[in-house]
Structure 1
Amino acid sequence: MPARGTVSHRTKASALWGLVGALSFLVLAQAARLLDGPSVGFLPLLGVAIVVALGTTAVTYHAADRLP
């Protein structure tokens, strides 16, 4: 059990994977905008990136016990 006020390794790793997922989505979205032109605005892309980050964080947090 971590000391009070500290973040566990599992939580920190999950949050970092969520950040990686969100940034990966934004890179792919930017590439699509460069190749095809702006079809979707910035705020919807940001909203989807936040959902991707939260989903990735949740999946990695719960899957950490099941994966080697």
Structure 2
Amino acid sequence: MHPRAKSALLWGIVGGLTFLVLALGVVGFETVELSIARVLAVGFVVTGATAAVTYRYERRLRRWASEHGR
């Protein structure tokens, strides 16, 4: 697997798991009534979107960081 694709996939997983932890916390405190299936479905969408955005903009972010000494 290409390193850029692997990085994007891993960041997608991080984004999806972060969303799921926050969403299940909200559901656990019964702040909002959501089904677990709906939360998982949105979690998969967030995972895919995070991976896609990371894959698209990773080079741009690295270039920006190197130009600004980070």
Give TM-score scaled by structure 2 length.
0.81
The counterpart of 2:4, out of the listed 6, 10, 24, is 10
Between structures 1 and 2, the one with greater helix share? 2
C-alpha distance in structure 1 between counterparts of 2:48 and 2:30, whole Å: 27
Moved over 4 A (4+): none
Deviation at 1:34, TM superposition (A): 2.2
Q: CA RMSD in A?
A: 1.3
Question: Gaps (5+ residues) in structure 2?
Answer: 63-70
Corresponding residue of 1:29? 23
Cα separation, 2, equivalents of 1:35 and 1:43: 17
| Distance in 2 of aligned mates of 1:48 and 1:11 | 22
- Number of aligned residue pairs: 62
